[in-house]
């Protein structure tokens, strides 16, 4: 019996010693020329049918990378059907969009271009517009060596810009690298975050965005069937109200929260998640300390945003 207990005890100690969150790499390798071109495209309303909407319209990269509206507004002021998630650190997501319908950033960038509620364009229309621009033709020729701009190159440049949108060196990342210490409230907040179960879904380099989970595990969450959840992809009944877990990186900048934008503040979001997904009621002190921890997740602004 002693031989059985000792190995199990050893395993438990070592599992608990493994840190469930990883720091964002300080250096992110990108093709800077492509990324700068992608930035110009990301900011340009030319890519929408009525010249009203840019990628930036729904993903404010200067303020958390998401949208402060509950749902974004696109072509002819039409409203979207779900809260716009952040594009910051999206390269670390295991899938893209709330329901994971895009396998990578290339598929994700293609979606809004063709969505009638967003850019309401198509590859041919985008090519025609950009090929009527001497400025863009010159830049695509210099970078890609082509005389005519093709849609796939447009997406390639935008994706390279999105690959550059990482936010390293948050206080928590520096803590993980043993460069700084957390304050007592921040440390206690992180301990509570782990002990009460938040870490189960929010872990890894993006502190989330690496799994699908049901919104409302212990209590049924009010669901609106128009929100594109995993059921919309798989048609499996148990995938109703299942969404990609959002990243907590820069979470203090990305209100409102959840796929439906129903939580206006972090305090409200934590209370809802505790109740519906953990079956708990957190005290005000616990919530305040968790927020102190979450505030340490704000990283440095992407360097590419410093120049045009």
Does 76 participate in catalysis according to the annotation? no
Res. 2 pLDDT band, cuts 50 70 90: very low
For residue 129, the enclosing domain spans 32-163
14 within domain boundaries? no
Residue 148 and residue 271 in one domain = no
User: Of all residues in the chain, what percent carry a pLDDT higher than 90?
Assistant: 91
Annotated active-site residue in 19, 27, 76, 118: 118
Continuous segment of H or E residues that includes residue 6: helix 2-17
65 within domain boundaries? yes
Average pLDDT rounded to a whole number, residues 268-296: 97
- Per-residue burial over 252-269, b if 16 or more Cβ lie within 10 Å, else e, is ebbbbbbbbbbbeebebb
Beta-carbon contacts of residue 10 (< 8 Å; ≥ 6 apart)? none
154 within domain boundaries? yes
User: For 251-265, what is each residue's pLDDT tens digit?
Assistant: 999 999 999 999 999
- Checking if the pLDDT of 13 tops 60, the result is no
Residue 208 and residue 286 in one domain = yes
Residue 113 and residue 180 in one domain = no
- Checking if the pLDDT of 247 tops 90, the result is yes
1 within domain boundaries? no
Which parts of 177-234 fold into alpha helices (H)? 184-195, 231-234
- Checking if the pLDDT of 5 tops 90, the result is no
Res. 14 pLDDT band, cuts 50 70 90: very low
Q: Three-state DSSP class for 214?
A: strand
Q: What is the pLDDT of residue 194?
A: 97
Beta-carbon contacts of residue 9 (< 8 Å; ≥ 6 apart)? none
Residue 222 and residue 283 in one domain = yes
Assigned token pair, 266 = 């972090």
Q: What is the pLDDT of residue 95?
A: 98
Calpha distance 83→65 (Å, rounded): 12
pTM of the model: 0.92
User: For 124-181, what is each residue's pLDDT tens digit?
Assistant: 999 999 999 999 999 999 999 999 999 999 999 999 999 999 999 999 999 999 999 9
Calpha distance 72→58 (Å, rounded): 6
Q: What is the pLDDT of residue 118?
A: 95
Give 186's DSSP letter.
H
Is 159 exposed, middle or buried (CB count within 10 Å of its CB: 0-12, 13-18, 19+)?
buried
Torsion of CA 240, 258, 55, 163, to 10 degrees: -90
User: Of all residues in the chain, what percent carry a pLDDT higher than 70?
Assistant: 94
304 within domain boundaries? no
Residue 37 and residue 159 in one domain = yes
Calpha distance 76→118 (Å, rounded): 9
Residue 149 and residue 260 in one domain = no
16 within domain boundaries? no
Domain count of the chain? 2
Q: Three-state DSSP class for 79?
A: strand
Q: What is the pLDDT of residue 308?
A: 58
Q: What angle do CA 32, 59, 42 make, to 5 degrees?
A: 40
Given 163, 179, 213, the domain boundary residue is: 163
Residue 176 and residue 277 in one domain = yes
Residue 184 and residue 240 in one domain = yes
Give 263's DSSP letter.
B
- Checking if the pLDDT of 271 tops 60, the result is yes
User: For 97-116, what is each residue's pLDDT tens digit?
Assistant: 999 999 999 999 999 999 99
Residue 131 and residue 250 in one domain = no
From residue 94, give the alpha-carbon distance in Å to each of 99, 105, 219: 11, 10, 27
Residue 181 and residue 197 in one domain = yes
Residue 238 and residue 278 in one domain = yes
Residue 207 and residue 105 in one domain = no
Q: Average per-residue pLDDT in the chain?
A: 93
116 within domain boundaries? yes
Beta-carbon contacts of residue 182 (< 8 Å; ≥ 6 apart)? 171, 172, 175, 190, 293, 296
Count Cβ atoms below 10 Å from residue 132 Cβ, excluding itself.
11
Angle subtended by helix axes 105-114 and 123-131, to nearest 10: 90
Res. 222 pLDDT band, cuts 50 70 90: confident
Calpha distance 231→134 (Å, rounded): 45
Calpha distance 294→255 (Å, rounded): 13
22 within domain boundaries? no
Calpha distance 175→190 (Å, rounded): 12
User: For 54-73, what is each residue's pLDDT tens digit?
Assistant: 999 999 999 999 999 999 99
Continuous segment of H or E residues that includes residue 213: strand 212-214
Continuous segment of H or E residues that includes residue 242: strand 242-244
Q: What is the CATH number of the domain that holds 239?
A: 1.10.760.10
């Amino acid at each position: 019996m002693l031989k059985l207990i000792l190995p199990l005890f050893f395993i438990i100690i070592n599992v608990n010693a493994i840190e469930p969150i990883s720091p964002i790499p300080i250096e992110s390798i990108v093709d800077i020329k492509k990324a700068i071109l992608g930035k110009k495209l990301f900011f340009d309303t030319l890519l929408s049918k009525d010249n009203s909407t840019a990628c930036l319209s729904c993903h404010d990269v200067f303020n958390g990378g998401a949208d402060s509206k509950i749902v974004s507004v696109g072509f002819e002021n039409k409203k979207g059907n779900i809260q716009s998630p952040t594009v910051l650190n999206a390269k670390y997501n295991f899938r893209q969009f709330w329901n994971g319908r895009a396998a990578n950033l290339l598929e994700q960038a293609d979606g809004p271009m063709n969505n009638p509620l967003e850019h309401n364009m198509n590859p041919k229309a985008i090519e025609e517009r950009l090929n009527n621009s001497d400025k863009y033709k010159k830049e695509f020729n210099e970078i890609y060596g082509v005389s005519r701009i093709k849609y796939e190159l447009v997406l390639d440049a935008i994706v390279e810009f999105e690959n550059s949108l990482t936010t390293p060196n948050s206080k928590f990342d520096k803590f993980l690298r043993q460069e700084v210490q957390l304050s007592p409230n921040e440390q206690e907040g992180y301990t509570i975050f782990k002990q009460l179960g938040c870490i189960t879904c929010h872990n890894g380099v993006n502190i989330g965005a690496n799994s699908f989970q049901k919104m409302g595990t212990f209590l049924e969450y009010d669901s609106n069937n128009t929100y594109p959840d995993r059921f919309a992809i798989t048609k499996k009944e148990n995938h109703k109200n299942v969404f990609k877990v959002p990243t907590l990186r820069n979470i203090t900048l990305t209100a409102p929260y959840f796929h439906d934008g129903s939580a206006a503040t972090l305090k409200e979001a934590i209370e809802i998640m505790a109740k519906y997904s953990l079956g708990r009621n957190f005290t005000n002190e616990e919530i305040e300390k968790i927020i102190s921890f979450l505030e340490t997740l704000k990283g440095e602004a992407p360097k590419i945003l410093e120049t045009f």
